[in-house]
């Protein structure tokens, strides 16, 4: 793989104001994404994992500028997305697409499949006339495994898996280079998940796509990703090559996350690290390392100083005081 960077995120922050009182004054901030930096190489799949509320979906949407970033830099093919004006941004959207978790909510219930998939073609004027547009729609639907007989139907007439295929088709219609997939299979039945995962892998090969694959299911992420990033409470705690991350997790959070996965093999006995307590609130995150109240190896320094997020060799990034001391 050529290590050409398609997307580079630097110090990205997204804070949501918490308003209270009669005058709706901002009293605090939810630090949903708090200073994260990573990159995605051309043609690879970066898996972004974390538990609910860790900010992984917010990160995905902020990168696409569906949410406005509070601070930071998002460089896509050499261009800082945060500097684009509205028109330039709309033009840029051809290059980056999103697939949503919920195939029920993400399709307009009053539009036919042909119109849903045809919309991006209309918006960007990718077809000269109606005939060409329909041909293109047919072609895309065929690519995702839906026949033309479905074109005049409405989303509610489809099963969850088929709807997700429509969502994929819509994203594909503009021929993007980056697709951010936000939990694309977690709303689907177990037997259907594999269909969508396989489809996404096939499409990646055929259209040389780059994926940012956001999920909470580590087995799925492990299967589809080349590299994996782990988020906890708005921060990246570890980023590494898939094999390295799963074989040799450096951060205690990653370690406990991996050990918590139930394994579909009754003979498999894992040394489970059961974490104490719950994920703290992102409004008032713990001082120092955000993981320290639950960390089995917490030291004094962890509650005081925030560990530096740095490269521990061969692109294995982590943020932990334990590693710094070694």
Binder to another protein among 102, 241, 306, 324 (CB under 8 A)? 102
Determine the size of the site formed for another protein (CB under 8 A): 71
Q: Helix (H, G, I), strand (E, B), or coil: what is residue 302? A: helix
If the CB atoms of residues 92 and 298 are measured against another protein, the closer one turns out to be 92
Minimum CB separation of residue 170 from another protein in Å reads: 7
Alpha-carbon distances, residue 73 vs 12, 42, 171 (angstroms): 6, 18, 24
Strand partners, 107: none
Specify the residue, 298 or 304, whose C-beta has the smaller distance to another protein.
298
Of 174 and 301, which CB lies nearer to another protein in the complex structure? 174
CA nearest 112: which of 166, 160, 173?
Answer: 166
Q: Pick the stretch among 68-76, 83-91, 203-211, 306-314 that binds another protein (CB under 8 A).
A: 83-91
Window 210-269: residues binding another protein (CB under 8 A): 216, 218-220, 222-224, 246, 256-268
Which one of 23, 191, 205, 325 is in contact with another protein (CB under 8 A)? 191
Question: In the complex with another protein, which residue's Cβ is closer, 207 or 308?
Answer: 207
Q: Within 42-61, which residues bind another protein (CB under 8 A)?
A: 51-52, 61
Examine residue 90 and tell whether it contacts another protein (CB under 8 A): yes
Residue with tokens 């892998």: 201
Helices 113-123 + 130-143 axis angle, to 10: 120
Smallest distance, Å, CB 189 to another protein? 4
Q: Establish if 167 lies at the interface with another protein (CB under 8 A).
A: yes
Q: Least distance (Å) from another protein to the CB of residue 163?
A: 10
Q: Are strands 5-20 and 25-41 parallel, antiparallel or unpaired?
A: antiparallel
CA distance readout (Å), 155 to 106, 162, 164, 215, 285: 10, 9, 10, 24, 41
Q: Distance between CA 321 and CA 270 in Å, rounded?
A: 26
Q: Does the protein bind another protein through residue 110 (CB under 8 A)? A: yes
When asked if residue 133 is in the footprint of another protein (CB under 8 A), the reply is no
Q: How many CA atoms lie within 13 A of 229 on its CB side?
A: 25
The reply to whether 161 sits near another protein by the rule CB under 8 A is yes
Least distance CB 32 / another protein (angstroms)? 16
10 binds another protein (CB under 8 A): no
Among candidates 180, 185, 194, which has minimal Cα distance to 103?
185
Measured at the CA of 61, the angle between CA 55 and CA 66, to 5 degrees, comes to 140
């Amino acid at each position: 793989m050529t290590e050409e960077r398609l997307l580079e995120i630097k110090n990205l922050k997204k804070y949501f104001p918490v308003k209270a009182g009669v005058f709706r004054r901002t009293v605090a901030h939810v630090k949903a994404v708090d200073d994260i930096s990573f990159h995605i190489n051309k043609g690879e799949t970066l898996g972004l994992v974390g538990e609910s509320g860790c900010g992984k979906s917010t990160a995905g949407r902020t990168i696409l500028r569906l949410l406005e970033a509070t601070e930071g830099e998002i460089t896509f093919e050499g261009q800082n997305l945060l500097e684009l004006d509205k028109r330039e941004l709309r033009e840029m959207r051809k290059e980056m697409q999103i697939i949503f978790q919920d195939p029920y909510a993400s399709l307009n219930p009053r539009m036919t499949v042909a119109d849903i998939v045809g919309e991006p073609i209309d918006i960007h004027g990718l077809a000269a006339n109606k005939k060409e547009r329909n041909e293109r729609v047919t072609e895309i639907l065929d690519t995702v495994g839906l026949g033309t007989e479905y074109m005049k139907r409405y989303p509610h007439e489809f099963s969850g898996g088929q709807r997700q295929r429509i969502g994929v088709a819509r994203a594909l219609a503009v021929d993007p280079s980056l697709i951010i997939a936000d939990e694309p299979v977690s709303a689907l039945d177990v037997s259907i998940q594999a269909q969508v995962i396989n489809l996404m892998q096939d499409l990646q090969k055929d259209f040389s796509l780059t994926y940012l694959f956001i999920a909470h299911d580590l087995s799925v992420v492990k299967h589809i990703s080349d590299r994996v990033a782990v988020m906890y409470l708005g921060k990246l705690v570890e980023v590494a090559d898939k094999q390295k991350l799963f074989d040799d997790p450096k951060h205690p959070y990653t370690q406990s996350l991996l050990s918590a996965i139930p394994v579909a093999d009754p003979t498999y006995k894992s040394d489970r690290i059961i974490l104490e307590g719950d994920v703290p609130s992102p409004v008032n995150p713990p001082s120092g390392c955000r993981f320290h109240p639950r960390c089995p190896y917490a030291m004094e320094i962890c509650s005081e100083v925030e560990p530096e997020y740095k490269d521990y060799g061969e692109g294995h990034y982590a943020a932990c005081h334990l590693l710094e001391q070694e």
